[in-house]
Structure 1
Amino acid sequence: MTGNSCIVLSDDYKGYELEYFCVPRHYEDSLECVLIPSGLIQDRIERLARDVAADLGREPFAALCVLKGGYKFLADLLEKIKQCYRFSSENSVPFSVDFIRLQSYKDDHSTGDVKVLGVDGLSFLQNKNVLVVEDIIDTGKTMKVLLEILEKQKPKSVKVASLFVKRTSSSSGLRPDYVGFEIPDRFIVGYALDYNEYFPCESCLCHQ
């Protein structure tokens, strides 16, 4: 498993001009560019799904989605994982899905004060392979809190899949097991990553 390998967007990466894509007009004045088109995101998720399926083999697993932004990545990732199993075997691999919410952002800034919601009743993860699905990891401090909580449940294994990892000087050094894209320290929206509930777009967009 290549794990930490991913597509890296350089600091001077400019993305694509908005005029080349179908961006809702009422969002245009708030956006800088299309950072990653939807098609590229889907292709990258397909490869991540193949890596996850190869690592898990035929073992059941529990997918733990970090809300709110992770739900779309979770849905697309699990669908592509199921496709991998269908192509490689007649038998499907059972998995469960649950959700957790971690809160550390206010507007577009991380407050550093992590609030963990919905963690009661995670004892069912004991002795299970757990796949944590996150939309974006910024400093990594929030994810570290979650991993500490999960460790107390005595799972068989824990892997983290994050579609985006932000390159920032305040990073805790945490690196997910599966990474879609490493991006510069810019605030992004789209693909279920919102700004105060706005920008539900399919592509990854750079917010001004």
Structure 2
Amino acid sequence: MNNDIERVIYDQQEIDQRVSELAKQLNHDYAGKRDVVVVAVLTGAIMFTMDLYKRLDLYAHIDFVDVSSYQGGTSSTGSVKLLHDLKNDIKGKDVIVCEDIVDTGRTLKFLIDLLKDRGANSIKICSIFDKPAGRVVDVQADYVGFDVPNEFLVGYGLDYQGLYRNLPYIGVLKPSVYQKKHD
């Protein structure tokens, strides 16, 4: 897998340090709150969410939602689908949505609207990666680990056709890897 990576953008140590910094900020901002729900967006945000959640010194439940706009390709389809819904009621609770990457913003907008409709007290977005150049919907994460270039990235939860998520770093996938599959 490492041979498929053009270059590493952020290594494991840099990511680990930034996750600790985000957890420290969330611990500060949510200190004293008792109705916090951390919502992990499957499947990409699992690694980030678990690393972050272990560092939270909060009374925080965890739940999962699966939303997709990629369906296995290299770019968003533009259509967002809810594949797995939350198991718990979030009405009146403070929700922290953990995302792997904010790219087009479509998924994030869909989730924010869904959670608002369900009566969340507050909704904040915590994303380990943000790709502002990919944005087509006007949404922003409240907590961001790293801004990343507008390239096809894999690792630390980000995938190409379900692969590369387990890389401990974030890197640019060589175009030859995904172009040959579409030729």
Do the two structures share a fold, i.e. TM-score over 0.5? yes
Q: Is 1:51 paired with 2:25?
A: yes
Instruction: Look up the SS of the partner of 1:109 in the other structure.
Output: coil
Distance between the aligned counterparts of 2:135 and 2:121, measured in 1? Answer: 31
Where structure 2 has 5 or more consecutive residues not aligned to the other structure, the ranges are: 175-183
Q: Is 1:163 paired with 2:138?
A: no
Instruction: Look up the SS of the partner of 1:96 in the other structure.
Output: strand
Q: Is 1:69 paired with 2:44?
A: yes
Q: CA deviation at 1:170?
A: 4.1
Q: Is 1:111 paired with 2:77?
A: yes
Q: CA deviation at 1:169?
A: 5.2
Stretches of 4+ moved more than 6 A in 1? none
Q: CA deviation at 1:27?
A: 3.8
Q: In the TM superposition, what whole-angstrom CA distance separates every residue of 1:103-150 from its partner, at most 9, and x where no partner exists? A: 11132111101111223655x100011110000010111110111010
- Aligned runs of 1:1-208 on 2, under 5 Å? 26-28=1-3, 30-60=4-34, 61-82=36-57, 93-105=58-70, 106-119=72-85, 122=88, 124-168=89-133, 170-199=135-164, 200-208=166-174
Aligned residues: 171
Q: Percent sequence identity over matched residues?
A: 32
Q: CA deviation at 1:192?
A: 1.8
Distance between the aligned counterparts of 2:111 and 2:15, measured in 1? Answer: 25
Distance between the aligned counterparts of 2:38 and 2:134, measured in 1? Answer: 30
Distance between the aligned counterparts of 2:87 and 2:163, measured in 1? Answer: 31
Residues 107 and 27 (structure 1 numbering): CA distance in 2 closer, same or farther, change over 3 Å? farther
Distance between the aligned counterparts of 1:78 and 1:169, measured in 2? Answer: 27
What TM-score do the two structures reach when normalised by structure 2?
Answer: 0.88
Higher relative contact order (CA 8 A, sep 6+): 1
Q: Is the 8 A contact 2:127 2:141 kept in 1?
A: yes
Q: Is the 8 A contact 2:64 2:86 kept in 1?
A: no
What TM-score do the two structures reach when normalised by structure 1?
Answer: 0.78
Pairwise CA RMSD of aligned residues? 1.4
Where structure 1 has 5 or more consecutive residues not aligned to the other structure, the ranges are: 1-25, 83-92
Instruction: Look up the SS of the partner of 1:147 in the other structure.
Output: helix
